[in-house]
Structure 1
Amino acid sequence: MKPRGDRVRSAQGKTAGPRTTSAPSHSRPTPLKRWVFRLAPLALLFAAFFALEAGLRWTGVARSPRYFLPALHQGEKRWIENLRFGWRFFPKQIARTPQPISIRQARAREDFRVFVLGESAALGDPNPAFGMPRILEILLQEALPHRRVQVVNVAMTAINSHVLREIAEECSTREGDVWIVYAGNNEVIGPFGGGTVFGRQAPPRAAIAASLAWRGTGIAQLLESWVARAPSVQDERAGWTGLEMFKDQQVAWADPRLKKVHQHFEANLDYIVKKGLAAGARVVLSTVACNLRDCAPFGASLPGGIQPDLARRWNALYRDGVAAESRADMTSALELYRAAAELEAAHAELQFRIARLLAAQSKDAEAKVHFGQARDHDVQRFRIDSAANEIIRRVAKRHSGEQLGFVDSEQRLSETSPGGIPGRDLFLEHVHFNFEGNYALARLLAPEALRTARAGSGTAPRPILTLQECAARLGFSDWDRYQTLRKIHERLQGLPYTIQLDHGEQLERVQGEMASLRPSLEPGALRAAAARVGDAVRRRSDDWVLRDQHGKLLEAAGDVEGAVAAWMKTHELMPHFVNAPYQIGNLLDSAGRSREAEPFLRAALQPMPHFVEAMNALGLCLTAQKRFAEANSWFAKALEWRPAFATAHVNWGLSLAAEQRPMEAITHYEAALRLRPGHANTHYNLAIALKALNRTNDLLVQLQKTVQLNPQFREARYNLASELAAHGKLEAALAEYKETIARWPELADAHYGLATVHARLHQNQHAEEAAKAALRRNPNHAGARSLLQRLEEPAQR
Structure 2
Amino acid sequence: MPAADYARKGSLTRRLVYVAAAVSVGLLLLEGAARLTEMRYGEKPVDARSPIAFQQVPVKDPYRDESGRRYIQNGEWPGQQVPVEKTSEEFRIVVLGGSAAAGMGVAPPASFAKVMERLLNDAHPDRRVRVVNMAWTGFNSAQQARFLAAHIQGVQPDLVLTVMGNNEFLDMVAVAATNAPSAVIAARKIERRLALARWLMPARDAEPAPTAPSVVDRRIVKQRPDVRAFVAERLGRSLESIRDSAAGVGARVMVSSVAVNQVFGWFESPWPYVDYFGPHIESYARLRWALRYEAPRIAVELAEPILAEDPRDPGRQLIAAWAYAAAGDERRARELLHRARTRLEADQDNGGFDAREGVTYAAVMASLGENDAGFETLSSAWRWVDVETAVDRRSALARAWYELGRYDLAGPMMQALVEEGSEFSRAGSFENGLLASHSARLGLEFFDLADRVSSALPSGIPGYDIFLDYCHYNVRGHLYVGHFLAEAVSDRYLGDGEIRPLDADLREEAKLRAGRLSDLPDLRWWAGADFRVERLVYDPEPGRQWRIRQLEDTIARQGQSAIALTYRGNWYAYHPQSIEETRLEKAAEAYRRALELDPNFEAARANLRHVEWMRR
> TM-score, structure 1 length as denominator?
0.44
2:527 paired residue number: 485
Among 79, 83, 88, the alignment partner of 1:109 is 88
2:489 paired residue number: 449
Is the Cα contact below 8 Å between 1:53 and 1:217 reproduced in 2?
no
Deviation at 1:196, TM superposition (A): 6.4
Deviation at 1:257, TM superposition (A): 5.2
Deviation at 1:415, TM superposition (A): 3.3
Deviation at 1:291, TM superposition (A): 1.9
1:363 paired residue number: 406
Q: What is the one-letter code of the residue matched to 1:334?
A: S
Deviations 1:339-378 (A, max 9, x none): 544xx62654233222133234422122111122233335
Among 173, 191, 198, the alignment partner of 1:210 is 191
1:529 paired residue number: 566
- Structure 2 matches for 1:326-365, cutoff 5 A? 326=357, 331=376, 333-334=378-379, 337=382, 340-341=385-386, 345=388, 347-365=390-408
- Structure 2 matches for 1:583-594, cutoff 5 A? none
2:464 paired residue number: 424
2:336 paired residue number: none
Is the Cα contact below 8 Å between 1:298 and 1:379 reproduced in 2?
no
Establish whether residue 377 from structure 1 lines up as the match of residue 420 from structure 2.
yes
Q: What is the one-letter code of the residue matched to 1:353?
A: A
Rate the CA distance shift 1:198–1:167 in 2: closer, same or farther, 3 A. farther
Q: Secondary structure at the match of 2:121?
A: helix
Is the Cα contact below 8 Å between 2:490 and 2:497 reproduced in 1?
no
Alpha-carbon separation, structure 2, partners of 1:486 and 1:360? 23
1:250 paired residue number: 218
Is the Cα contact below 8 Å between 2:105 and 2:531 reproduced in 1?
no
1:698 paired residue number: none
Deviation at 1:131, TM superposition (A): 1.4
Alpha-carbon separation, structure 2, partners of 1:200 and 1:81? 36
- Quick check: 192-201 or 159-168, which moved more? 192-201
Alpha-carbon separation, structure 2, partners of 1:374 and 1:447? 31
Is the Cα contact below 8 Å between 1:251 and 1:381 reproduced in 2?
yes
Alpha-carbon separation, structure 1, partners of 2:86 and 2:243? 22
1:271 paired residue number: 240
1:259 paired residue number: 228
Rate the CA distance shift 1:47–1:451 in 2: closer, same or farther, 3 A. same
Establish whether residue 120 from structure 1 lines up as the match of residue 60 from structure 2.
no
Among 433, 437, 461, the alignment partner of 1:394 is 437
Is the Cα contact below 8 Å between 1:348 and 1:377 reproduced in 2?
no
Alpha-carbon separation, structure 1, partners of 2:146 and 2:523? 34
Is the Cα contact below 8 Å between 1:138 and 1:470 reproduced in 2?
no
Is the Cα contact below 8 Å between 2:172 and 2:227 reproduced in 1?
no
Is the Cα contact below 8 Å between 2:95 and 2:163 reproduced in 1?
yes
Alpha-carbon separation, structure 1, partners of 2:29 and 2:462? 61
Rate the CA distance shift 1:340–1:467 in 2: closer, same or farther, 3 A. same
1:175 paired residue number: 156
Is the Cα contact below 8 Å between 1:177 and 1:281 reproduced in 2?
yes
Q: Secondary structure at the match of 1:420?
A: coil
Deviation at 1:445, TM superposition (A): 0.1
Rate the CA distance shift 1:160–1:552 in 2: closer, same or farther, 3 A. farther
Is there any run of 5+ residues in structure 2 with no aligned partner, and where? 8-13, 43-55, 271-347, 362-373, 534-549, 596-606
Among 391, 403, 412, the alignment partner of 2:452 is 412
Alpha-carbon separation, structure 2, partners of 1:430 and 1:157? 14
Deviation at 1:217, TM superposition (A): 7.1
Deviation at 1:288, TM superposition (A): 1.4
Rate the CA distance shift 1:245–1:124 in 2: closer, same or farther, 3 A. farther
Is the Cα contact below 8 Å between 2:243 and 2:253 reproduced in 1?
no
Is the Cα contact below 8 Å between 1:180 and 1:285 reproduced in 2?
yes
Q: Secondary structure at the match of 2:259?
A: coil
Deviation at 1:451, TM superposition (A): 3.4
Rate the CA distance shift 1:404–1:71 in 2: closer, same or farther, 3 A. closer
1:186 paired residue number: 167
Rate the CA distance shift 1:355–1:49 in 2: closer, same or farther, 3 A. closer
Q: Comparing both chains, which one has the higher relative contact order based on Cα–Cα distances under 8 Å and sequence gaps of 6 or more? A: 2
Q: Secondary structure at the match of 1:429?
A: coil
Alpha-carbon separation, structure 1, partners of 2:454 and 2:527? 23
Deviations 1:31-51 (A, max 9, x none): 999968985798589879989
Q: Secondary structure at the match of 2:91?
A: strand
Q: What is the one-letter code of the residue matched to 1:119?
A: G
Deviation at 1:67, TM superposition (A): 3.4
Deviations 1:145-200 (A, max 9, x none): 333322111111111122123234446655321121111111222x3457666987
Alpha-carbon separation, structure 1, partners of 2:201 and 2:223? 40
1:93 paired residue number: none
Deviations 1:548-593 (A, max 9, x none): 9779999x99xxxxxxxx9xxx9xx99xxxxxxxxxxxxxxxxxxx
Q: What is the one-letter code of the residue matched to 1:256?
A: P
Alpha-carbon separation, structure 2, partners of 1:149 and 1:71? 20
Is the Cα contact below 8 Å between 1:67 and 1:170 reproduced in 2?
yes
Q: Secondary structure at the match of 1:69?
A: coil
1:137 paired residue number: 117
2:255 paired residue number: 285
Deviation at 1:431, TM superposition (A): 1.1
Is the Cα contact below 8 Å between 1:116 and 1:182 reproduced in 2?
yes
Rate the CA distance shift 1:551–1:67 in 2: closer, same or farther, 3 A. farther
Rate the CA distance shift 1:171–1:470 in 2: closer, same or farther, 3 A. farther
Alpha-carbon separation, structure 2, partners of 1:66 and 1:529? 34
Is the Cα contact below 8 Å between 1:405 and 1:448 reproduced in 2?
no
Alpha-carbon separation, structure 2, partners of 1:332 and 1:152? 51
Q: Secondary structure at the match of 2:162?
A: strand
Rate the CA distance shift 1:150–1:542 in 2: closer, same or farther, 3 A. farther
Q: What is the one-letter code of the residue matched to 1:384?
A: A
Alpha-carbon separation, structure 1, partners of 2:244 and 2:69? 25
Q: What is the one-letter code of the residue matched to 1:363?
A: R
Establish whether residue 67 from structure 1 lines up as the match of residue 59 from structure 2.
yes
- Equivalences, count: 449
Deviations 1:761-780 (A, max 9, x none): xxxxxxxxxxxxxxxxxxxx
Q: What is the one-letter code of the residue matched to 2:505?
A: L
Q: What is the one-letter code of the residue matched to 2:426?
A: R
Is the Cα contact below 8 Å between 2:468 and 2:531 reproduced in 1?
no
Rate the CA distance shift 1:109–1:258 in 2: closer, same or farther, 3 A. same
CA RMSD after TM alignment: 5.9
Deviations 1:6-58 (A, max 9, x none): 9x99xxxxxxxxxxxxxxxxxx99x99996898579858987998999999xx
Alpha-carbon separation, structure 1, partners of 2:22 and 2:120? 63
Deviation at 1:139, TM superposition (A): 1.7
Among 136, 143, 146, the alignment partner of 1:166 is 146
Deviation at 1:488, TM superposition (A): 1.6
Larger C-alpha radius of gyration, 1 or 2?
1
Alpha-carbon separation, structure 2, partners of 1:71 and 1:47? 31
Alpha-carbon separation, structure 2, partners of 1:463 and 1:397? 30
Alpha-carbon separation, structure 2, partners of 1:326 and 1:126? 28
Q: What is the one-letter code of the residue matched to 2:66?
A: Q
Alpha-carbon separation, structure 1, partners of 2:77 and 2:187? 26
Is the Cα contact below 8 Å between 1:348 and 1:376 reproduced in 2?
no
Alpha-carbon separation, structure 1, partners of 2:264 and 2:191? 41
Alpha-carbon separation, structure 1, partners of 2:567 and 2:41? 51
Alpha-carbon separation, structure 2, partners of 1:544 and 1:415? 44
